[in-house]
Amino acid sequence: MPKIKRLSTRLANQIAAGEVVERPASVIKELVENSIDANATRIDIDIESGGVKLMRVRDDGCGIAEDDMPLALNRHATSKIAELDDLEAVASLGFRGEALASISSVSRLLLISNTHAKGAGWKAQVEGRDMNAQMSPAPHPMGTTVEVRDLFFNTPARRKFLRTEKTEFSRIEDVVKRLALSRFDIGFTLRHNQRVIHALKPADTLMEHERRVAALCGPAFMENAVRIDAELADLKLTGWVAQPTFSRSQADLQYFFVNNRVIKDKLVSHAVRQAYSDVLFHGRHPAFVLYFTCDAATVDVNVHPTKHEVRFRESRSVHDFLFRTLHRALAEIRPGDQLAAEVVELPQSTGEQVVEYKRQDTIPFSTGRSGYSSHGNRPFNTAVAEQLTGYQALHPDGGIRGSQGDTAVLEKTALEHVASAPHSEQFDEDSEVPPLGFAIAQLKGIYILAENEQGLIVVDMHAAHERITYERMKLAQDNEGIRSQPLLVPESIMVSQQEADRAEELLDFFTGFGLEIERVSLECLVVRQVPIMLQTANVEQLVRDVLSDLMEFGRSDRIEQHRNEVLSTMACHGSVRANRKLSIPEMNALLRDMEKTERSGQCNHGRPTWRLLTIDEIDKLFLRGR
Write out pLDDT tens, residues 510-566: 887 778 899 999 999 999 988 877 777 788 888 888 888 778 777 677 777 777 776
Could you give phi then psi for residue 286, rounded to 5 degrees?
-75, 165
Q: Name the pairing type of β-strands 254-258 and 288-293.
A: parallel
Centre a 10 Å sphere on the Cβ of residue 607 and count the other Cβ atoms it contains.
14
Q: How confident is the model at residue 419 (pLDDT cuts 50, 70, 90)?
A: very low
**Share in percent of the chain as helix, strand, coil (round to 5):** 40, 25, 35
* pLDDT at 77 > cutoff 90: no
Q: What sign does the CA torsion over 69, 75, 80, 84 have?
A: negative
| Position with higher pLDDT, 125 vs 119 | 125
Range from 35-44, 266-275, 326-335 that averages highest in pLDDT: 35-44
The DSSP letter of residue 143 is E
Please report the pLDDT score of residue 592 as a whole number. 92
Q: What domains are defined for the chain?
A: 9-200 (3.30.565.10), 206-332 (3.30.230.10), 369-477+571-621 (3.30.1540.20), 482-556 (3.30.1370.100)
Please report the pLDDT score of residue 525 as a whole number. 94
Could you give phi then psi for residue 83, rounded to 5 degrees?
-145, 175
* pLDDT at 214 > cutoff 90: yes
Average pLDDT of span 597-601? 88
Please report the pLDDT score of residue 130 as a whole number. 56
Q: What is the mean pLDDT of the chain?
A: 80
Q: Give the span between the Cα atoms of 178 and 257, in whole angstroms.
A: 9
Centre a 10 Å sphere on the Cβ of residue 405 and count the other Cβ atoms it contains.
8
Q: How many helices (H) and strands (E) does the chain have?
A: 20, 22
Please report the pLDDT score of residue 405 as a whole number. 44
Cα distance between the two ends of the chain: 87
Q: Give the span between the Cα atoms of 402 and 565, in whole angstroms.
A: 16
In angstroms, how far is CA 37 from the centroid of its own chain? 27
Q: Under 8 Å CB-to-CB from 587, ≥6 apart: which residues?
A: 439, 442, 448, 450, 461
The residues pairing with 149 across neighbouring beta strands, listed in sequence order, are 54, 108
Among the listed residues 128, 123, 112, 153, the one whose alpha carbon sits nearest the alpha carbon of residue 13: 128
Q: Under 8 Å CB-to-CB from 412, ≥6 apart: which residues?
A: none
Q: How confident is the model at residue 63 (pLDDT cuts 50, 70, 90)?
A: very high
* pLDDT at 203 > cutoff 60: yes
**Is residue 224 a contact partner of residue 259, using CB atoms and an 8 Å limit?**
no
**Is residue 222 a contact partner of residue 216, using CB atoms and an 8 Å limit?**
no
Kindly tell me the burial class for residue 47, based on how many C-beta atoms sit within 10 Å of its own C-beta (0-12, 13-18, 19 or more).
Answer: buried
Which CA distances in Å does 388 have to 379, 412, 484, 571? 15, 14, 18, 10
| Region of residue 589 (phi > 0: left; psi between -120 and 50: alpha; otherwise: beta) | alpha
Please report the pLDDT score of residue 388 as a whole number. 42
Q: Of the given ranges (521-525, 533-537, 602-606, 609-613), which has the lowest mean pLDDT? A: 533-537
Write out pLDDT tens, residues 341-398: 554 444 443 333 333 333 333 334 344 444 444 344 444 444 444 444 433 433 444 4
Among the listed residues 111, 138, 109, 102, the one whose alpha carbon sits nearest the alpha carbon of residue 126: 109
Q: Give the span between the Cα atoms of 282 and 587, in whole angstroms.
A: 29
Q: Give the span between the Cα atoms of 436 and 457, in whole angstroms.
A: 7
- 3-class DSSP assignment, residue 440: strand
**Considering the chain, what percentage of its residues have pLDDT values greater than 70?**
79
Please report the pLDDT score of residue 448 as a whole number. 94
Range from 2-6, 53-57, 570-574 that averages highest in pLDDT: 53-57
pTM above 0.85, yes or no: no
Q: Strand order in 610-614's β-sheet?
A: 438-443, 447-451, 455-460, 610-614
- Count of positions (residues) in the chain: 626
Centre a 10 Å sphere on the Cβ of residue 231 and count the other Cβ atoms it contains.
12
